[in-house]
């Protein structure tokens, strides 16, 4: 029987009990749809309710910014960090930090059960901009060489990152959420157009302003190893974070 990793009520129900353990799940959505909030809440609940350690790898918001976000929901981020149940790892992609190496070291020492990578889009963009620099910045020498004569498109780079991540994360039996930006009107499920095929699950977040209301909806487009409830799940982001409507 597949073990479930529970995080947020409503989402777990739609997933028939939670994310199958070990899955790598893409969380896609437009700007401000709540990707980071959903991911952070998944880790907060994991630590608070299930005693599972969470690692939040951020390439966008710094620790101070994540603190500010958590404080707006009254979440005790620092309490969990001090208890060694939560770790925030911030990568400044403009500095070419060695992403894979640092990730590997942190996973080995911290031993998280849940990991968030926010965001896949920034990682891909960093490699696109730096071109061949990925060798030093991301230790992706082998993959970079095998695709060498082919121009490094967003999709090839996204694939390289994902294959490296899959190799890395599958070793450790962790459940992962990766975020991806979606542009308004895009018919893709990720910014790079490839992550949705490689990951085990795809959750798409939407926000539509109707009058003075924000209609927020979540759709599970795919989740390997479990049946899912078809349909649209409505949620709101309020003073305690994300909550789903019954």
**Which residues lie near ligand ATP (CB under 6 A)?**
29, 31-37, 72-73, 181, 237-239
Cβ-based nearer residue to Mg ion, 36 or 219: 36
Q: Which is nearer to ligand ATP, 143 or 237 (CB)?
A: 237
- Rounded to a whole number of angstroms, the minimum distance from the CB of residue 29 to ligand ATP is 5
Q: Shortest Cβ distance from residue 183 to ligand ATP (Å)?
A: 11
115 close to 174: Cβ distance less than 8 angstroms: yes
Residues in a beta bridge with 114: 54, 175
Rounded Cα gap, residues 223 and 202, in angstroms: 6
Residue 213 to residues 38, 237, 244: CA-CA distances in angstroms? Answer: 20, 12, 16
If the CB atoms of residues 23 and 58 are measured against Mg ion, the closer one turns out to be 58
Are residues 201 and 219 in contact, defined by beta-carbon separation less than 8 angstroms? no
Minimum Å distance from CB 177 to ligand ATP? 12
Which residues between 53 and 112 bind Mg ion (CB under 5 A)?
none
Q: Which does 121 bind (CB under 5 to 8 A by kind): Mg ion, ligand ATP, none?
A: none
* Rg of the chain, C-alpha, whole Å: 17
By beta-carbon proximity to ligand ATP, the closer residue of 22 and 46 is 46
| Shortest Å distance, C-beta 119 to Mg ion | 7
Shortest spacing between CB 18 and ligand ATP, in angstroms:
21
Q: Crossing angle for the helix pair 120-130 and 154-171, nearest 10 degrees?
A: 130
Is 175 among the residues that bind Mg ion (CB under 5 A)? Answer: no
CB 102 within 8 A of CB 19: no
CA 231/CA 187 separation, integer angstroms: 18
131 binds, among Mg ion, ligand ATP, none (CB under 5 to 8 A by kind): none
The DSSP bridge pattern shows strands 114-118 and 54-58 to be: parallel
Of 125 and 181, which CB lies nearer to ligand ATP in the complex structure? Answer: 181
Both tokens of residue 26? 């893409």
Encoded tokens for 47: 């630590």
Q: 21-40: which residues touch Mg ion (CB under 5 A)?
A: 35-36
Q: Which residues bind Mg ion (CB under 5 A)?
A: 35-36
């Amino acid at each position: 029987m597949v073990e479930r990793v529970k995080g947020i009520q409503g989402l777990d129900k739609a997933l028939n009990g939670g994310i199958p353990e070990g899955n790598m799940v893409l969380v896609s959505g437009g700007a401000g749809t709540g990707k980071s909030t959903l991911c952070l809440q998944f880790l907060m609940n994991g630590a608070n309710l299930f005693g599972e350690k969470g690692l939040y790898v951020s390439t966008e918001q710094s620790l101070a910014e994540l603190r500010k976000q958590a404080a707006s929901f009254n979440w005790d981020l620092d309490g969990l960090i001090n208890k060694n149940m939560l770790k925030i790892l911030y990568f400044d992609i403009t500095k070419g930090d060695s992403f894979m190496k640092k990730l590997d070291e942190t996973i080995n020492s911290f031993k998280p059960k849940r990991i968030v990578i926010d965001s896949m889009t920034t990682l891909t963009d960093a490699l696109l901009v730096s071109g061949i620099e990925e060798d030093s910045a991301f230790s992706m020498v082998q993959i970079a060489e095998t695709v060498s004569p082919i121009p490094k498109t967003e999709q090839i780079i996204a694939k390289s990152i994902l294959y490296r991540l899959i190799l890395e994360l599958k070793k450790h039996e962790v459940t992962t959420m990766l975020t991806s930006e979606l542009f308004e009107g895009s018919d893709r499920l990720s910014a790079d157009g490839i992550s949705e095929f490689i990951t085990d699950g795809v959750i798409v977040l939407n926000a539509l302003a109707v009058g003075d209301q924000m209609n927020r909806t979540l759709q599970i487009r795919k989740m390997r190893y479990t049946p899912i409830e078809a349909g649209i799940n409505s949620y709101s982001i309020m003073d305690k974070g994300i909550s789903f409507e019954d």
